[in-house]
Structures are given as C-alpha cells and as structure tokens.
Amino acid sequence: MLGYTENLLGAWQLVRKTGRAHTKQPFLGENQNSQQNNYFALVANVFIVEFIPYLTGEKSLPTYPVR
C-alpha cells in the first residue's frame, strides 16, 4: 500500500479506516489475520524510518532554489 503512494497522511487515514472496518466486521479481521498483514505496523515503521530522521537532525529538508 505505501509503496504506491507518497502521501503518508493519506495512507495513515486509509489504515485507520481499514482498522475500524475490521473491528466492526469480523470476517474482515479474519481475512487480514489469515494474510499476515499488519498495516498499522507497516505505517509505523515507515513513519519511523522516513520522518524521525528529520526530527533528530540526521536528515535535512531539501532546499529548492528560489525563482
């Protein structure tokens, strides 16, 4: 899911919406559990790998020339 989008906020909202649907409809939860996909962990890992380095100073924001 995240491999196809650069919009982390949109991906997070999709994961939350999916999680809410899975708690309300048991067959969806069973399907997700049978596929061994944990989208919450996936989003959290991408958040840690991509966003946290900017907060700690390991990465700096790209600078673009002013036109």
pLDDT tens-place string over residues 7-58:
777 777 777 777 676 666 676 666 666 666 667 777 788 888 888 887 788 8
- pLDDT at position 49: 86
Q: What is the pTM of this model?
A: 0.38
- pLDDT at position 32: 62
- pLDDT at position 63: 78
Is the separation of the CB atoms in 42 and 18 below 8 Å?
no
pLDDT category at 2 given cuts 50, 70, 90 is: very low
